[in-house]
Amino acid sequence: MKTTIIALVALVALASPAFADERGIDDFPEGKGREETANLCAACHSGRLVSQQGMSRAQWDETLDVMTERHKMPKLEGDERTLILDYLAAAFPPKTRRGAPNPFLK
C-alpha cells in the first residue's frame, strides 16, 4: 500500500508541468552559456521571468547591473559576464509577442 502511494505521488509529480520545469528554464534555447545562465538567473526567480523578455545586448547588460544593485546578485565580471551576456542577447533578442522584430527598438 505504501509503495502504491509513493508511486502515485511520483507519477503526479512527473505529470505536473510545475514539477517538470521547476526552474522555468525549459524554453531556454540550446547554446553556449545556457547552463551558466540558467543556474545563475533561475536561482532567485523563475527562468520564465528571463525568457519572457526580449532585449538588446545593451539592455541585458543593464539588467545584470540592476540585478546586482537592486537584488544583490553577485557582481558579474570578466569572462563570466561576457558568456552570460552573449547567451542572453542571442537567446532572447528584442521581439514582439508574435516574434516579429519590434521597429521601435532599433
How many positions of this chain bind ligand HEC (CB under 6 A)? 17
Question: At a CB cut-off of 8 Å and minimum separation 6, what does 1 contact?
Answer: none
CB of 9 to ligand HEC, least distance (A): 29
State which residue, 25 or 64, has the beta carbon closest to ligand HEC.
64
DSSP states of 4-62? HHHHHHHHHHHH-HHHHTTTS-TTSPS-TTHHHHHHHHTTTS-THHHHT----HHHHHH
State which residue, 16 or 52, has the beta carbon closest to ligand HEC.
52
CA angle 78, 84, 88 (to 5 degrees): 140
State which residue, 25 or 67, has the beta carbon closest to ligand HEC.
67
Which three three-digit cell numbers place residue 66?
540592476
- Contact positions with ligand HEC (CB under 6 A) in 52-81: 53, 63-64, 66-67, 71-73
Judged by CB under 6 A, which stretch of 8-16, 21-29, 38-46, 98-106 contacts ligand HEC? 38-46
Residues near ligand HEC (CB under 6 A) are 40-41, 43-45, 49-50, 53, 63-64, 66-67, 71-73, 84, 88
